[in-house]
Amino acid sequence: MRLADLVAGIVFLALNGYAVLGGADFGGGVWALLARGTRKDRQRELIADAIGPVWEANHVWLILALVLLFTCFPAAFARLGIVLHIPLSLVLIGIVLRGSAFTFWRYGGGAHGDEAQRHWGSVFAVASLITPLLLGTAVGAIASGSVRAGGTGSGAGFYDVYVAPWWTAFALSVGAFALVAFAFLAAVYLTLEAQQPELREDFRRRALGAGAALFGAALLVLTLSGSGAPRMRAGLIFAPWAVPLHLLTGATAVTALAGLWRRRYRLARVAAAAQVSLILWGWALSQYPYILPPDLTITEAAAPAVTLRLVLGALALGAVVLLPSLYYLFRVFKSRSQPSAIGRQ
């Protein structure tokens, strides 16, 4: 395995971390928006309690993926910044609004009134939709092979260069798929966060519904990929690893739903995270060795070897600090028997 491939794998691992952790925080926003029934305030409170201690750490996975991308694959980063300027700017606006609205929601009310707090809760919820949709759309644009060089001097118009690559049915369907996947993850995780049985049942039903919707969204993406991303589709069907990967993904999907059905929530959590991760890796494998199909390979986009080696060293060093810290964070907040008292004081 080449050095550049290894580093690309690590960048993708960071993206994977963002999807299964940060993605679920966006999914929480979806459920805050869809909170219904007599327990809607308790549902929202549970979501806020679950996200509060971890969302910033979860968010950093995206930053990590981004800085590794521009350090190690600057040509790919530059091209993404040019061609996907519009969707990525909207992703940013979503991130800014989501993050700040969540904090204002947590800290805006307190004992001094709940009107403003509710207001920020809805900004948080709506903003949580923007980022997954457009991040997924950007992924769809990459997978369909339309993030090409050019633009400057090619004579193409604004629409052709800056809109057409991502404003396609296929890319937008990937956006919808990402949103549903994040909502599914969030609902599955929330079954474990909930302390009261009725709240747990609420999210179990939501998780089952989202799981079914995810299946529908996957079918939609697959159908549209015929004309939208033929290369990726060919990779996903004919490559030697395709069948084992699909079987494994299918097995995790069934396990997640079965776990939910039989109220084996820990099992469901692991299976759901594995399912989403496997789908991501399927995408990555289908376009290997290209980082931006159809013409930019991982090796071509890579920084000089000295940079890659140094980054690997820094990653190893960073992992020594980060992994125990992350373990501690999740042990303190995600394995307790009682929910934190904050927000109820």
Partner 1 sequence: MPDLLAARSQMAVSLAFHIVFAVIGIAMPLMMVLAERRWQVTGHAIYLDLAKRWARGTAILFAVGAVSGTVLSFELGLLWPEFMRFAGPIIGMPFSLEGFAFFTEAIFLGIYLYGWDLIPRPAHLAAGGVVALSGAASGIFVVIANAWMNTPTGFELAQGHAVNVDPIAAMASPAALSQTIHMTLAAYAATGFAVAGIHAFLLLKDRANAFHRRALVIALLVGAPAAVLQPISGDLSARHLARHQPVKLAAAEALFETRAGAPLTLGGWPDVERRQTRLAIDVPYGLSLLAFHDPGAVVKGLDAAPRDEWPNVPAVHLAFQLMVALGTYLALVALWTGWRAWRGADLAHNTWLLRAIALGAPMGFIAVEAGWMVTELGRQPWVIYGVLKTADAVTPMPGLIVPFLAFTLLYCFLGVIVAWLLYRQIIRSPDIPEWRGFYMPPAGRGNRKAEG
Which residues, 26 to 85, sit near partner 1 by CB under 8 A? 52-54, 56-57, 59-60, 62-64, 66-68, 70-72, 74-75, 77-82, 85
Minimum distance from residue 89 beta carbon to partner 1 (Å): 5
Nearer Cβ to partner 1, position 82 or 222?
A: 82
Q: Closest by alpha carbon to 48, among 107, 131, 111?
A: 107
Q: What is the CA radius of gyration of the chain?
A: 20
Least distance in Å: CB of 175 to partner 1?
Answer: 18
Q: How far is CA 343 from CA 53, 130, 143, 213, 266, in A?
A: 12, 27, 42, 33, 26
State the angle between helix axes of 230-238 and 197-228 in degrees (0 to 180), rounded to the nearest 10. 110
Report how far Cα 180 is from the mean position of its chain's Cα atoms.
10
How many chain residues interact with partner 1 (CB under 8 A)? Answer: 72
Packing angle between helix 40-51 and helix 169-193, nearest 10 degrees? Answer: 90
- Which of 21, 24, 26, 106 is in the footprint of partner 1 by CB under 8 A? 106
CA atoms of 154 and 36, how far apart (whole Å): 52
**Cα dihedral across residues 27, 51, 48, 186: positive or negative:** positive
Q: CB of residue 73 vs partner 1: minimum separation in angstroms?
A: 8
CB-wise, 135 or 210, nearer to partner 1? 135
Q: 240 by DSSP, 3-state: which?
A: coil
Q: Report the site for partner 1 in 136-165 (rule: CB under 8 A).
A: 151-152, 158, 162
- Report residue 41 CA to chain centroid gap: 26
Q: Which of residues 269-328 bind partner 1 (CB under 8 A)?
A: 303-304, 306-307, 310-311, 314-315, 317-318, 321-322, 325-326, 328
Distance of alpha carbon 339 from the chain centroid: 25
Judged on CB neighbours under 10 Å (0-12, 13-18, 19+), 3 is middle
Q: Is the distance from CB of 283 to CB of 235 less than 8 angstroms?
A: no
Considering only 92, 156, 247, 258, the residue that binds partner 1 (CB under 8 A) is: 92
Q: What is the smallest separation between the CB atom of 262 and partner 1, expressed in angstroms? A: 31
If the CB atoms of residues 96 and 258 are measured against partner 1, the closer one turns out to be: 96
Rounded to a whole number of angstroms, the minimum distance from the CB of residue 88 to partner 1 is: 6
Distance CA 72, CA 234 (A): 28
Q: How far is the CB of 85 from partner 1 (least distance, A)?
A: 5
Nearer to partner 1 among residue 195 and residue 325 (C-beta): 325
In this structure, how many other beta carbons lie within 10 angstroms of the beta carbon of residue 227?
12
Nearer to partner 1, 88 or 284 (CB): 88
Q: Which of residues 198-237 bind partner 1 (CB under 8 A)?
A: none
Applying CB under 8 A, among 26, 102, 189, 281 the residue interacting with partner 1 is: 102
Which C-beta is closer to partner 1: that of 196 or that of 340?
A: 340
Please identify, using beta-carbon distances, which residue of 113 and 197 lies nearer to partner 1.
Answer: 113
Count of C-beta atoms within a 10 Å radius of residue 265:
21
Q: Does 108 bind partner 1 (CB under 8 A)?
A: yes
Binding test (CB under 8 A) with partner 1, winner from 6, 36, 41, 96: 96
Task: Indicate the angle between helix axes 85-107 and 55-72, nearest 10 degrees.
Answer: 160
Figure out which of the listed residues 3, 103, 242, 248 binds partner 1, where binding follows CB under 8 A.
Answer: 103
Q: Which is nearest to 130 in space by CA: 33, 55, 26?
A: 26
In the complex with partner 1, the residue whose CB is nearer, 153 or 244, is: 153
Nearer to partner 1, 106 or 269 (CB): 106
Distance in Å, CB of 345 to partner 1, minimum: 5
Name the amino acid, one letter, at 105.
W
